Amino acid sequence: MTTLLHVSDTHLGNRQYGSDIRKNDMAKAFDQAIDIAVNENVDGVIHTGDLFDSRTPSLPEVTHCIQTLRKLDKADIPFYGIVGNHDRKMDEQWLDLIRETGTAERLSREPTMVGGNVAIYGIDSVTKPSWHSKDFTLEPPEDSDAFTLLCMHQLLAPPIPGSEDFMADHSTGEVIDRVGIHLDALALGDYHKPEEDVVDDVPVWYAGSTERCSLSEEEPRSVSLLKIEDGSVRRRKRELDTREFAPISIDFSEGDAHGRLNDVLDQYNLENKVAHVTLRGERTALTSSDVYSAAMDRGAAVAKVKDDRGRQELDLGGGPEGDIQNPDEIIDNQIAGEDLSETALSIDERVRGDEGLPKSKDSVADEIEQDVKQAQDEAFSDDEGDAAEEVAE
């Protein structure tokens, strides 16, 4: 039997609500996950993307990550990862740097054998514009009886609830069709809630994030312990001890102020919790700063105040509900509808993701112009080479 721990969406460095306490909470949750792996003496840990919360984590965040992974290294437990949409860079990835320390390995479309008879694969997060041109073909394992497990960081339906057109980016069935080999299981990241399903006889699941990254993520945070034997996989959730949230909604009428606020807050135990307070109704003399101070005075570790007072309620006509897309996702959706070349897609990815680009528009334009010229030179060079071969023939 081969035992693996599936960890995902750790978002190290995430200063949720601008709080260093929450950034430390993200790191502590990752530490807990690694401790579970060591205590269970697993054969390996798989991480399905968004190890870090951004493309540019700080040096202390990277250092702490490596120090945590050294606990696995000391226990002779390998750590296998893929790149998520949050921490994806243009060329070399943070996982490549961490690999140089000997504490992690980056999965690919070639099999990584674990426990003797489990072949693990990985495909990094794929942007919508690149989806249809991306090569998903996996190299078959030498042992045809090996259990094949693919790790991806993608929003796929199912198991994501709802229609593919709304929340998910693509269909799971399409992935299974495009890998080119028999797939025994698909472990996913990017969706922060634990979900599972079976698609074309393939078990598919999300482990969920290790910490709450939004108020809507109400389920207990967890990791998945996988036991693979005789061609099948059994999964068991291992819950993590994470900081509690206290969602509070306060409706104000004209003239309400501190008395109304205190009456509501006194109903909650905020000690050491994340207090998320939403204000609704009429605008009053009470400020968001007053609410923040009142929550912190009651022992909250972190307070977030969302002031919706005085806002007109819109009737969305029973449309879908969900988190607002971030700008990168909106741009990806727009570009996906255009017939752009690989060169154009790579330039778009560089402009949006290369932190090393100059800050001024003129300097960026100069660098991108060089990229275009290089692509043209390579294309014409290829054409000349093809012509020469035809003459030689």
What are the pLDDT tens digits along the chain (393 aa)? 999 999 999 999 999 999 999 999 999 999 999 999 999 999 999 999 999 999 999 999 999 999 999 999 999 999 999 999 999 887 789 999 999 999 999 999 999 999 979 999 999 999 999 999 999 999 999 999 999 999 999 999 999 976 555 678 899 999 999 999 999 999 999 999 999 999 999 999 999 999 999 999 999 999 999 999 999 999 999 999 999 999 999 999 999 999 999 999 999 999 999 999 999 999 999 999 999 999 999 999 999 999 999 876 555 454 444 444 556 656 665 655 565 665 666 666 556 555 555 555 555 565 565 556 555 555 555 554 444 344 344
d(CA 201, CA 195): 16
Per the annotation, the verdict on 86 as an active-site residue is: yes
Q: Please tell me the predicted confidence (pLDDT) of residue 90.
A: 74
2-239 CATH choice from 3.40.50.300, 3.60.21.10, 3.40.50.150, 3.40.50.720: 3.60.21.10
Q: Which pLDDT belongs to residue 389?
A: 41
Residue 254 has a pLDDT of 92
Tell me what pLDDT residue 196 has: 96
pLDDT at 83: 97
Q: Where are the domains of the chain?
A: 2-239, 245-307, 327-392
What φ, ψ does residue 285 adopt, rounded to 5°? -70, -15
**pLDDT score at 392:** 41
Q: What is the pLDDT of residue 320?
A: 44
pLDDT of residue 168: 86
User: Which position among 47, 86, 153, 276 bears the catalytic label?
Assistant: 86
Burial class (CB in 10 A: 0-12, 13-18, 19+), 316: exposed
**What per-residue confidence (pLDDT) applies to 91?**
78
